[in-house]
Structure 1
Amino acid sequence: MIQNSIATFKCEVIQRKLQLVGQCATGNFPQSFPDVAINVQKEFEIRRNEVRNVVDPEVIFSPYLSNNLVATYFACVEVKEFDSIPSGMMGIDIPMTTYAKVSCSNKTIEKGYERIFSWMKDNGYQHESFEKALPIEIFYYEDNVEEEIVELYIPIVD
């Protein structure tokens, strides 16, 4: 029997304010991706128990910045407050931001991006500049499963 994907590709507009603590890595873009992203997530998975005041250790937030030359990709957890930030990590305080959101899976991220950008265009939403906001990939980790829920947040102009 073929299992259906857990991806719903449901699109909506949400607002979130986030306090994140984690690590980042930078690499040539697009040549070194997704390897750089996968590696920083694996490295952070080993150290995430060092972060205090974590909201949910099984939810990894991955904001990123990119252009046609380089990209910086983060692996973080959400915290209730910035207490002490472990060595080699940083805190990111993301103000209230309006996002276009789509639910997909770790196996359907590319299709998730296609869907959210098409939905944004069809509904007249414009991408917010990197100067004011960051796109975010959110991974909901589960043990012993091949496919996990992923949400993509694309900041949009309010």
Structure 2
Amino acid sequence: MGIQVIEREEIKVVGISWNGTYSQLSTIPSLFTKLKERLEEVCHQSNEPVLIAPFHSRETEVTYYVTKPVEKIDDIPDGMVGFTIPRKNYVYTVHKGNLEDVENTYHQMFAWMDDYGYERDHYALSMEIFKEEHQQQNISGDLHFEIYVPVKSYKK
């Protein structure tokens, strides 16, 4: 697994949100289906063939969004949210494997961050980016998506 630090430019997104406990994470896959069913309602979609899933993880709960990148945020459909993810530095890797291994991929990223002296920015959104080209294998359970964990400083 290749892990590196990269900078991502600001991105505007519109989509759906969900908040729940860690024991309810099995709800998340249905959010992708729900957004895909309503995707034509999202105005000003960018040409980027991805879905972006920004999220906040806290001690007892998670807020997870499934969104589509847009050129501008206006005319947000009922029941959806729109916001801008600021330009930020992230620790980045690609997860390939089954759902049960996702947690392990995150643990490997956090260990790498500790080893190289990067401090996680707990106030910024982490992101998972799902490319359209991997849609069929993701549906089949052979997951392939990018993970971005925000960092605020270099500690060493």
Structure-1 separation of matches of 2:94 and 2:80: 28
Identity of aligned residues (%): 27
Distance in 1 of aligned mates of 2:48 and 2:6 = 22
Match of 2:13 among 12, 20, 28: 20
Normalising by structure 2, report the TM-score.
0.83
Maintained 8 Å contact 1:26/1:73: yes
Query: Which runs of 5 or more structure 2 residues have no equivalent in the other structure?
Result: none
Deviation at 1:61, TM superposition (A): 0.8
> In 1, distance between residues paired with 2:6 and 2:135?
28
Partner residue of 1:52? 43
User: Could you tell me which of 14, 17, 23 is aligned with 1:31?
Assistant: 23
Structure 1 residue 68: deviation in Å? 2.8
Q: Partners of 1:122 and 1:96 in 2: how far apart?
A: 24
Task: Give 1:116's aligned residue.
Answer: 109
1:31-86 CA deviation, whole Å, 9 max, x = no partner? 111x2211222211211222122224641111112223222111001112223211
Which 4+ residue blocks in structure 1 deviate beyond 6 angstroms?
A: none
Higher strand share: 2
Structure 1: segments with no counterpart, 5+ residues: 1-8
How far apart are the structure 2 equivalents of 1:143 and 1:127? 29
> Normalising by structure 1, what TM-score?
0.82
Q: Distance in 2 between matches of 1:11 and 1:123?
A: 11
User: Separation in 2 of the partners of 1:152 and 1:47?
Assistant: 24
- In structure 2, distance between residues paired with 1:56 and 1:136: 19
Q: For 1:80 and 1:67, locate their aligned partners in 2 and report how far apart those are by CA, in whole Å.
A: 30
Per-residue CA deviations over 1:18-43 (Å, capped at 9, x if unaligned) read 1111001111x21111x221122221
| SS in structure 2 of the partner of residue 81 of structure 1 | coil
Q: Distance in 2 between matches of 1:106 and 1:18?
A: 27
Please tell me the residue identity of whatever aligns with 1:41.
Answer: F
Instruction: Name the amino acid aligned to 1:115.
Output: Q
Tell whether 2:143 aligns with 1:151. Answer: no
